Amino acid sequence: MYELYYTGFGRAYVGDSKELLSSLDEGSVDLVITSPPFALQRKKEYGNKEQDEYVDWLIEYGRLIFRVLKETGSFVLDLGGAYKKGRPVRSLYNYRVLIRMCDDCGFDLAEEFFWHNPAKLPSPIEWVNKRKIRVKDSVNTVWWFSKTDFPKADVKKVLTPYSERMKKLLKDPDSFYKPKKRPSGHDISKSFGSSINSGAIPPNLLQFPNTNSNSQYLRMCKELSAKKHPARFPAKLPEFFIDFLTDENDLVLDIFAGSNTTGEVAEMKGRRWIACDLDRDYLVASALRFFEHPINDKQRKKFAELTKGTELPIDLRNIKRQQELFAQQNVALNRFSFVAP
């Protein structure tokens, strides 16, 4: 395991994240958020495990995460659904992961979330497209684990804008809406009045389309012939949980970093971050998230250093995009330290 590059806020490592987790201080991480390779029927180039061994494999990481997580910290795990091989029957692997993370590792389920990707393609082809006996699977389960009943969390940081209709209702509820008691006996009129938030409380159904096919990361990968990651999640997913569960300067860890979307979001939010991935080529390409487009000669030289692996780790702090990110957050470079492997 070795460090590949670092920025003003974070560091990216190549290798098995179990080694990284074992080297970090106990109770040092505020948020672990990750999307591991899913337990799919077919092997993918990014190294997913078969369903029958997947749960045991992932629980090994869960035990290590529990050790490094602060008492107020959170572990957010994104898992896609799957079918059993050759059958139109759903696998329960993601629910088995949930149960065993709690029973074997000691986590509590703070809350379950569901990420709806409306742009997801119909699959599996056999049951959805050909035989047409199942509908499109467009929801991932996202488990929010904690070590205690009261992990750090603040819904005020993730409020959604009110609709125009709701703004009118909140401004003058008596003239705009005459509610009757619900069948349950709940008087909805008491929900309005003095306790008005600056936005609506979001549900645990998160709808973020994953349709970005022309991002800066992808354009740069194409221009520099870098290996783009085929299974990137949208920035809004880690952004929601980073806003919700952490404060500025907290430490965010992604143990299956891939294209390092989490690191990019953490950087822009003023959070310290650590990223780790087994695939060196994917992590090399992830550095492009901290570059500026169009690419200049200085950045080309930096990327060549990353690709060749000379004089590692590579310092990306003087890349122009880095300077802009820090200017947006009004923070200084080198403002953190942690025990690195």
- pLDDT tens for 208-234 read 988 777 788 999 999 999 999 988 889
Dihedral (C-alpha) 107, 85, 43, 31: value to the nearest 10 degrees?
A: -20
Give residue 331's pLDDT: 44
Q: What is the three-class DSSP state of 166?
A: helix
% the chain with pLDDT above 70? 80
Q: Quote the DSSP letter at residue 234.
A: P
**Least confident interval from 106-110, 189-193, 213-217:** 189-193
Nearest Cα neighbor of 50 from 95, 10, 82 is 82
Q: What does the pLDDT look like over 6-50, one tens digit per residue?
A: 999 999 999 999 999 999 999 999 999 999 987 654 554 544 455
Distances (CA, A) of 201 to 66, 111, 322: 29, 15, 33
Could you tell me the pLDDT band of residue 170, with boundaries at 50, 70 and 90?
A: low
Structural domain includes residue 190: no
Determine the pLDDT at residue 311. 85
Give me the percent of the chain exceeding a pLDDT of 90.
65
List the catalytic residue out of 78, 137, 254, 277.
78
pLDDT on residue 3: 97
Assigned domain for 191 exists: no
DSSP H helices, 273-316, are: 280-286, 297-308
> Is 183 inside a domain boundary?
no
In a domain, 188, yes or no: no
Residue with tokens 């009757």: 180
Query: What pLDDT does 318 receive?
Result: 74
Per-residue pLDDT tens for 286-341? 999 999 888 888 889 989 999 998 889 999 987 755 555 555 554 433 333 444 43
The catalytic residue among 17, 30, 36, 277 is 36
pTM as predicted: 0.86
pLDDT score recorded for residue 89? 96
**Pick from 275, 317, 338, 272: which is nearest to 4 by CA?**
275
Give residue 177's pLDDT.
Answer: 59
Phi, psi of 274 (to 5 degrees): -130, 135
Query: Would you state the pLDDT for residue 270?
Result: 96
Residues in contact with 39: Cβ distance below 8 Å, sequence separation at least 6, in sequence order: 48, 49, 50, 51, 54, 55, 82, 91, 93, 94
Q: Does 194 fall in a domain?
A: no
Give 223 or 178, the one with higher predicted confidence.
223
Residue 82 pLDDT > 70: yes
**Residues in the chain, total:** 341
Dump pLDDT digits (tens) for 135-160: 999 999 999 999 999 999 999 999 98
Give the pLDDT of residue 41.
47
The yes-or-no answer on residue 36 being catalytic is yes
In this structure, is residue 32 part of a structural domain? yes
Q: Domains in the chain: how many in total?
A: 1
Q: How many Cα atoms are found within 13 Å in the side-chain-facing hemisphere of 142?
A: 24
Q: What is the DSSP letter of 90?
A: B
pLDDT digits over 257-286, tens only? 999 999 999 999 999 999 999 999 999 999
Mean pLDDT score across all residues of the chain: 86
Residue 100 near residue 55 (C-beta atoms within 8 A):
yes
Antiparallel, parallel or unpaired: β 2-6 and 10-14: antiparallel
Domain that holds residue 295: 2-160+201-329
Domain assignment present for residue 279? The answer is yes
Confirm whether 255 is domain-assigned.
yes
Asked whether residue 200 carries a pLDDT value surpassing 50, the answer given is yes
- pLDDT per residue as tens digits for the range 111-137: 999 999 998 888 889 999 999 999 999
Q: What is the pLDDT of residue 326?
A: 54
Q: What is the CATH number of the domain that holds 126?
A: 3.40.50.150
Residue 277, CA atoms < 13 Å, CB-side half-sphere: 29
- Catalytic-role residue among 35, 146, 215, 286: 35
Instruction: Give 45's contacts (C-beta < 8 A, 6+ positions apart).
Output: 230
